[in-house]
Amino acid sequence: MKDEHEFFPPDAMPWRDGPLPGTAEKVLSQDPDDPDVLTRLARWSPGFATSDGVIRHEWAEEVYLLEGELYDMTLERVFHAGHFACRPPGMPHGPYRTTTGCVMVEIRYRA
């Protein structure tokens, strides 16, 4: 189970370095027994790109773009603020790059 939190202002939280150079995050809630299960704000710097390969992971993931744009190199499509994705475990997606940078809400859970 994720940590319990009543309403709080995420704007008051500092950004911390994300798992990859060029990324930052604010972890809003996380399962202490399963660190892959979390809700976070993720920020990708302008020019950031994921690995050259397609991404797959063992958790379910929902992503909502809040700011900026994200280019899917496989689909050859640009997604903008307001776009949403829901991915079951193992679903191939990406790789991605962003010219302008982006901020997204990411929710991960075990299906």
Tokens encoding 33: 């027994």
Cα dihedral angle (10, 12, 18, 21), rounded to 10 degrees? 130
Mean pLDDT of the chain: 96
For the chain, the structural domain boundaries read 15-109
Which architecture characterizes domain 15-109 according to CATH?
Sandwich (2.60)
b vs e for 20-58, b when ≥16 Cβ sit within 10 Å of the residue's Cβ?
A: eebeebbbbebeeeeeebbbbbbbbeeebbbeeeeeeee
What are the pLDDT digits (tens) for 3-32? 889 999 999 999 999 999 999 999 999 999
**pLDDT at residue 52 greater than cutoff 80:** no
The one-letter amino acid at 81 = A
pLDDT confidence band for 111 (50 / 70 / 90): confident
| Mean pLDDT lowest among 24-28, 50-54, 62-66 | 50-54
Query: Residue 94 has what pLDDT?
Result: 96
